[in-house]
Amino acid sequence: MAAVGNDPRGDTRRTMIATALIGIGLMAAVDEIVFHQLLGWHHFYDLSTPAIGLLTDGLLHAFELLVIVAGFFMFAALRAQRALVPTAAWAGLFLGAGGFQLLDGIGNHKILRLHQIRYGVEILPYDLAWNLAALVMIALGLLLARRAARRRPRPA
């Protein structure tokens, strides 16, 4: 890998930022496609009319597309500069996806109460599964980030 700044191993920080954006966008897309559209369990904002719910789903979809595109532009630039750090890329992807899911599960579902995962059922198992899956992704991301930070430079 080409040297970036003082780091002969590549650009770990920018790699993680690029793939965290991709992870955020991918998890938002999974939420939007599976839970909002295919299953029809909720909209992004359920405290108003169905039309407002659809509008907020569209805004979420626009957000997810923007962050995915931004992340891939950054990713492509890192590849072109030969500064991409593969382990850091996986770390960023899992941290972004897990972070989005935990923010949604705690922030949107419980604190702001914009929507619940599902209505008309016992919600606790859904909340536990959603938030535990987020924590597993974050833990995996942190493990990979730690591994990426400890990488040794390759001999020239």
Helix (H) or strand (E) holding 98, with range, is: helix 86-102
The SS3 call for residue 34 is: helix
Q: So what's the pLDDT on residue 9?
A: 60
- Taking Cα atoms as reference points, which of 69, 79, 91, 105 lies closest to residue 138? 91
Q: So what's the pLDDT on residue 151?
A: 74
Contacts for 52 with CB less than 8 Å, ≥ 6 apart:
43, 45
pLDDT tens digits, 69-118? 999 999 999 999 999 999 999 999 999 999 999 999 999 999 999 999 89
Domain definitions of the chain by residue range: 12-149
pTM of the model: 0.88
Q: So what's the pLDDT on residue 8?
A: 55
Q: How many Cα atoms occupy the beta-carbon half-sphere of 31 within 13 Å?
A: 32
